[in-house]
Amino acid sequence: MSLKHECGLFGVLGSPDASGLAYLGLYSLQHRGQESSGIVTSDGECFHAHKALGLVNECFEDEILARLEGSLAIGHNRYSTTGSTRTSNIQPLVVDLKGKPLAIAHNGNLVNARELRVVMEKEGSIFQSTMDSEVFVHLMAKSKKDTVRAMIESAADGVRGAYCLLLMTVDSIIAVRDPNGFRPLCYGRKGDSIYFSSETCGLDVVDAKYEREIEPGEMVIARGGEIASERFAPPAKLSLCVFELIYFSRPDSLVFGVSVDEVRKAFGRRLAAEQPADADLVISVPDSSNAAALGYSMESGIPLEHGLIRNHYVGRTFIYPTRELRDHRVRIKYNPVRELLKDKRVVVVDDSIVRGTTSKKLMRMLRSAGVKEIHVRISSPPIRYPCFYGIDTPTRGELIAANCSIEEIRQYLEVDSLGYLSVEGLLESTGLPPDDFCVACFTGDYPVRFTSEPRKLALEQFDDWCV
Ligand code: SF4
C-alpha cells in the first residue's frame, strides 16, 4: 500500500501536563501523518505553540514541552493532502479571531476550499498558508455571529467535504465532525480531564477511558471538565471512509465504534470464502495486512506464517540518490524468510494495490526466495478512482486497476493468481450498515460532489461527476 494517511488530531483539557499528554497522543497517532507535527497550549489567558517538520519525537524535546504551559492543548500530525510542505502549513493554525486567539487543527479535505479561497481573496482576505483548513477560519471570521460556536455553524454552512476539527479558545476545546462523518474522531476522560483523539489508540496511551465518537454533524464543546453537545448541521448521507478500516487506522483502535482488528480479520475471512486458493502457507505483507491474513488463514485452514519480515527502522528521510539504490527500497523494508518459503505455494495477503510497482518488486523478491506458486489476495476491491476527502491518491492514470483488468494486473505482477475482495463482501464484513460507508475509490460513486479543476483532471474522462 502506498496511499498516504491524512492527519491525526489530539486534544487535552484539564491537565497540568497538557503538552506532555498531547505529545503522547500524537506519538500514538504518528501513522496518520509523518510530515510535521504541532502542539498549541492555553494557560487560560494566552497560547503557547511549537510546530516543526518531522516525526513527533523529532519535533519536540523536553524543554520545548516544558515551555508549552497550560492545562489545555491541541495537537496535529500532518501529511499534506492540500497545501505544500512548508512551515506555514504546519498545524494547528493560530489566528486572531475578532480579537481573541483561536487555534485550529483539521483532518480531512474541503472539496470546495479552492473556489471559496478565490472568492475571498478577491474580496481582500489574506491567507497565511495554502491549507484549505484556513478557509474555514476565514469563513468564521466573516460570520456576523459573535460566539465561536455560532461562527463554526456559519462556516460549516459554507464548506463541503471531509473535516474533523479541533478548535481551541483560551478556555475551551471544540470538536467538530462533518455531517458525512468521513473521518473518525472520539473523546474520552480520565478523572476531570477530557481527551479528544482521531483514534482510540490515542486515548489508550494516556490511560483515558473512551466515551464515544463525535457524531457526524455534531459539535462537542469541552470547558472546565464539562461537555456540551449540539448539532450544527442537518443529517447528511453517512459516508464513513471504509479505508480507515482497511488500512489507515491502527488495528488496536476502535474506529466508527468498531474494532479495526476484528473488521480486518472479517475482511480476510470473507476474502478466503470469495477467493480461495490451493496453497501451503498464508503470509501477510506486514503490518497493515496482518489481521486480514490471519482471517484468511482461519477461514481457509491454511497455516499462517511470518514469511516477510518488515524492518521498522527504515528512516523516513532516507534519500535514494541512485536508481540502483531506489530499486532496493522494497528490499530495505521487507525481507523474505527463505527457509520457510522455499518450494512452497504461498497465499500473499495485502490490503490494497495502488500503482502496482511496489507489489511487483515484492513478488519478484518472493520468487527469488524460491516460492513455487504465488497467489495474491487483496483484502479490498480494486482502487479505480482517486480520493478527494483527505487521502493522497494518485490520478486515475496512475492507478493500475483504473487502467488494467485483473488478469492484466496478475500478468504485470507475474503471479500465479490474483483475487480481490468484492465491494459487497467488504461492506458486509464491517458489521455496520453497508450504506453508511464511502466506497468512492472503488466505485467512483462520490458522496460529496466537487467542482475544482485539479479534481476534474484527476478524474480525467470522469468529469461528468463535476457539477
Ligand atoms: S474515496 Fe476511498 S479513501 Fe476517500 S473517503 Fe472514500 S473510501 Fe475513503
Test site for ligand 1: of 267, 352, 388, 389, most ligand atoms within 8 A of the Cβ: 389
pLDDT at 84: 55
Helix 148-158 to helix 133-142 angle, to the nearest 10 degrees? 120
CA of 240 to the centre of ligand 1 (A): 8
Reported as a pLDDT band with limits 50, 70 and 90, residue 461 is: very low
Q: What is the pLDDT of residue 464?
A: 36
Locate the domains of the chain by residue range: 7-236, 261-431
For the cut 80, the answer to whether the pLDDT of residue 317 exceeds it is no
Average pLDDT, the chain: 91
Which CATH number does 261-431 carry? Answer: 3.40.50.2020
State which of 391, 393, 395, 465 you would mutate to test the pocket of ligand 1, scoring each by most atoms of that ligand within 8 A of its C-beta.
Answer: 391
Task: Kindly tell me if the per-residue pLDDT of 81 is higher than 60.
Answer: no
pLDDT attached to residue 465: 32
Considering the chain, what percentage of its residues have pLDDT values greater than 90?
Answer: 78
CATH of span 7-236: 3.60.20.10
**Mean pLDDT confidence for 187-206:** 98
For the question of whether the overall pTM of this predicted structure is more than 0.75, the answer is yes
Compute the average pLDDT of residues 343-358: 96
Mutate to test the pocket of ligand 1, among 241, 354, 459 (most ligand atoms within 8 A of CB): 241
**Atom nearest to 446 CA in ligand 1:** 1
Q: Which three cell numbers stand for residue 30?
A: 504518528
Q: How far is the CA of 343 from the centre of ligand 1 (A)?
A: 39
Distance (Å, rounded) from C-alpha 245 to C-alpha 241? 8
If you take atom 8 of ligand 1, which residue's CA is the nearest one? 241
Q: Is residue 370 very low, low, confident or very high in pLDDT (cuts 50, 70, 90)?
A: very high
More confident residue, 406 or 391: 406
Q: How far is the CA of 174 from the centre of ligand 1 (A)?
A: 25
Backbone angles phi, psi at 4, to 5 degrees: -100, 140
Closest listed residue to residue 82, CA positions, set 39, 111, 120, 115: 111
Give backbone dihedrals phi and psi of 242, rounded to 5 degrees, phi first: -70, -20
Backbone angles phi, psi at 364, to 5 degrees: -65, -40
- Tell me the pLDDT band of 241, cut-offs 50, 70 and 90: very high
pLDDT value of residue 463: 38
What's the 292 CA to ligand 1 centre distance in angstroms? Answer: 19
pLDDT at 344 over 60: yes
Q: Which of 129-143, 304-318, 338-352, 358-372 has the least mean pLDDT?
A: 304-318
164 is catalytic: no
Same fold, 7-236 and 261-431: no
